[in-house]
Amino acid sequence: MTTSARNVIVLGGTGFLGRRVVRRLVRHGCQVSAGTRSPGAAAACRLKWGGEVRIVRTDLGDSTALKAALASSGTVINCIGFYAETGGETFQDIHVDAARRIARLVKEHGGQRLIHVSGIGANLRSGSAYVRARAEGEAAVRSIFPGAFILRPSVMFSRSGAFFRDLQGIVDRLPVIPMFGRGNTKLQPVWVGDTAEAACRIVDGARARRRVFELGGPDIFRYREILERLAVRSGRRRLMLPVPFILWRFGAALLSPLRRPPVTQAQIALMRRDNTAGGNAAAFSDLGMEPHSAIAMGLV
């Protein structure tokens, strides 16, 4: 492993996954830059990073500035992504066009490595613009830079509240819990810290026969089971109400003008299919890792 390869820029470095990747890279002794279009957001992250981190303003629409931002790094990790189209940016803009632009700049630079974060369930034939864009972005990256590593995490949870505690809040507030369909969708939640560690293992030079990783936790639940477990945990009796997906889509459309809608079309699309790791991709075991259990962590 050369010193330059351990000089890493994390694009989306102040986001949900990105800021955790930055923190773990610091722990791994890497030289780290956090790429963000909102440098002010990095101030809240600095205390948790626990080391020297360079803040780099990155503008995905400015190829010249983006090229300059990437030039001094040996490894580029693209953690940029979102579930709702806002501010004039579309899934195509971020998950496809920007991913393609980043891959092209990495290729032109020469000698750099690229880790691209996508998600389980990406499908070129999906009727969802979000799911389809994720797959198109992967395809664009691999066609331009075949040596890129692709990370596809399942739904990610955190100790601080993402996913399980968000659902716990719903269970605590509502006597009747609306479910996506009949609640039979299978989920394999993965701790965000494990996803961040997987990226760090690749930076450290972990070798795997495959370049595409599907990252799921050790527990597989049906959505209904998660809600039932959370209700039992809080000592509440709750009625689980099946809601057809077409009604969820209608509700999401009504809520879409909100700055932070409680549910988006992208999330609904992901809940229509099982979100579990497949057998044709590499996994945590290929990186010498055993992912953390949400049950063992006391979150569900």
CATH number for the domain spanning 108: value is: 3.40.50.720
Do both 105 and 211 map to the same domain? yes
Task: Specify which residues 157 forms β-bridges with.
Answer: 191
Determine contact, residues 69/36, Cβ cutoff 8 Å. no
Looking at the chain, list the stretches that DSSP marks H as alpha helix, in order from N- to C-terminal side. Answer: 18-27, 43-49, 63-70, 91, 99-109, 129-144, 164-173, 192-203, 223-233, 245-255, 265-271
pLDDT tens track, the chain, 300 positions: 444 778 999 999 999 999 999 999 999 999 999 999 888 878 778 878 877 899 999 988 888 889 999 998 999 999 999 888 876 789 999 999 999 999 999 999 988 999 999 999 899 988 889 999 999 999 999 999 999 999 999 999 999 889 999 999 999 999 999 999 999 999 999 999 999 999 999 999 888 788 999 999 999 999 999 999 999 999 999 999 999 999 999 999 998 888 788 888 888 998 999 999 987 899 999 999 999 999 999 999
* 48 part of a folded domain: yes
Do both 71 and 121 map to the same domain? yes
* 294 part of a folded domain: no
Do both 122 and 29 map to the same domain? yes
Residue 3: predicted pLDDT: 41
What is the b/e burial string over 177-190, where b = at least 16 CB atoms within 10 angstroms of the residue's CB? bbbbbebebebbbb
Determine contact, residues 106/72, Cβ cutoff 8 Å. no
Do both 95 and 168 map to the same domain? no
Note the maximum CA span of the chain: 59
User: What's the structural domain count of the chain?
Assistant: 2
* 119 part of a folded domain: yes
| Residues whose CB falls within 8 Å of the CB of residue 197, separated by 6 or more in sequence, listed in order | 24, 289
* 143 part of a folded domain: yes
Long-range CB contacts (< 8 A, 24+ apart) of 80-83?
80/11, 80/12, 80/15, 80/18, 81/12, 81/15, 81/117, 81/119, 81/134, 83/130, 83/264, 83/266, 83/267
What is the b/e burial string over 139-167, where b = at least 16 CB atoms within 10 angstroms of the residue's CB? ebbbebbeebbbbbbbbbbbeeeebbbeb
Q: How far apart are CA 108 and CA 252, in angstroms?
A: 41
* 10 part of a folded domain: yes
Q: How far apart are CA 267 and CA 260, in angstroms?
A: 13
Residue 2: predicted pLDDT: 43
Residue 114's domain spans which residues?
4-157+187-216+277-287
Closest CA to 48 of 154, 260, 202, 196: 196
Do both 212 and 226 map to the same domain? no
Residue 53: predicted pLDDT: 93
Do both 23 and 147 map to the same domain? yes
Q: How far apart are CA 224 and CA 54, in angstroms?
A: 43
Do both 128 and 232 map to the same domain? no
Residue 207: predicted pLDDT: 80
Do both 143 and 228 map to the same domain? no
* 298 part of a folded domain: no
* 265 part of a folded domain: yes
Q: How far apart are CA 93 and CA 100, in angstroms?
A: 10
| Residues whose CB falls within 8 Å of the CB of residue 296, separated by 6 or more in sequence, listed in order | none
Residue 257: predicted pLDDT: 85
Do both 13 and 95 map to the same domain? yes
Do both 180 and 191 map to the same domain? no
Count Cβ atoms below 10 Å from residue 92 Cβ, excluding itself: 15
* 292 part of a folded domain: no
Angle between helices 164-173 and 223-233 (to 10 degrees): 60
Residue 260: predicted pLDDT: 81
Do both 96 and 169 map to the same domain? no
Do both 79 and 128 map to the same domain? yes
- Which residue do the tokens 């279009």 mark? 37
